Structure formats: C-alpha cells, structure tokens
Amino acid sequence: MASKVQNTVKRLLHELQSYEHDPSEALLHLGPVHDEELLHWTAVMKGVKGTAYEGGLWKLDILIPDNYPLAPPTITFVTPICHPNVHFKTGEICLDLLKTSWSPAYTVASTLNSVQQLLTSAEPDSPLNIDIAQLFRQGDQIGAEALIRFYTDTERWEGQ
C-alpha cells in the first residue's frame, strides 16, 4: 500500500512540475489544495473562446485515488455550470474519460483539457442536466446559449 501511494505522489509531483513549466491554456490555476496533501487538487478552468462559455471561470475539485494513474481522478465542478453533461447541483461530470475510457497516459492537466473540450461538444443524449439538454435536443441553439451565458456570468458566483 505504501509503495502504491509513493508511486502516486512521485507521479503527481512530476505532473505538477511539468504543468508549471508548460501551463495549460485551458486553466488559470492547477495544484494541490494544501502543500502537504497531494491527493486533493483544485483548478480554475477558463471558458472556451468563441462559445457561450467564453469569459467564464469555474473552480473544480479534484480527488486523486491512491492507485492513480491506474484509476482516474474524481473531478467535480464547484462553481455551477450550465451544461448537459454536468449535474448543476453536484458538479458531477459525465465524461467517458473519467470512467471507462481512462488510461494512465492521461495527466491531471490533460484530463482537465478534455473537460474544457466537453464545453464545445455537449452530448445531450446522456444528460445530467435535463433542462439544457432538452434545449439542445429541440435545436434551440439561441435559447441554450442564452441560458449558458446567464450562468456563465462570473458576477453571479463571486465570493464562492
């Protein structure tokens, strides 16, 4: 057990160092919540330019299992986001990469890049947010984007 955690910590320290040398365009921040707790990270993700999410910032909570990278991290949105594949209240993300498509080749940063890319490719047929998914399914792009922009307004969430 101890060597498994040591391998995980070694991997995470390497990932953190790599991220500091080559930060992701998708993120404003990525790192451990506390220096002494390497299995609990936080991130601030940027909205994708040219989408209804542009200008938005979302805080994410990242719990890393002892057997990482053999198992994926658990990533949830702390800041509410309006997206068909994200549960509005719990922040749970429906993304194959975080479940069945996980590979040890992914890093925390590359996984968060995939989460950001999910903002550009909603899957309304497997929704966690039925309301916004229904707008997409009905082809109401204007209504969907208006709702997304309403919840992307960063002033709504200041102080969280």
Residue, of 110 and 122, whose pLDDT is higher = 110
Write down the pLDDT at residue 97: 94
Q: Where are the alpha helices (DSSP H) in the chain?
A: 2-21, 108-118, 130-137, 141-152
82 annotated active-site: no
> 156 by DSSP, 3-state: which?
helix
pLDDT, tens only, 19-64: 999 999 999 999 999 888 899 999 999 999 999 999 999 999 999 9
Identify the residue whose tokens are 């498994």.
4
Other beta carbons less than 10 A from residue 45's beta carbon? 26
pLDDT at 100 over 80: yes
pLDDT of residue 135 exceeding 60, the answer is yes
Mean predicted lDDT score pLDDT of the chain: 92
Q: Pick the more confident residue, 6 or 155.
A: 6
Amino acid occupying residue 9: V
pLDDT of residue 36: 80
d(CA 93, CA 52): 19
pLDDT, position 2: 58
- Ordered structural domains, the chain, with CATH: 2-157 (3.10.110.10)
The pLDDT, as a whole number, for residue 37 is 86
Average pLDDT (100-107) is 96
The pLDDT, as a whole number, for residue 158 is 54
pLDDT band at 113 (very low <50, low <70, confident <90, very high): very high
What pTM, to 2 d.p., does this model score?
0.91
What is residue 154's predicted lDDT score, i.e. its pLDDT? Answer: 61
Selected catalytic residue, list 44, 57, 78, 94: 94
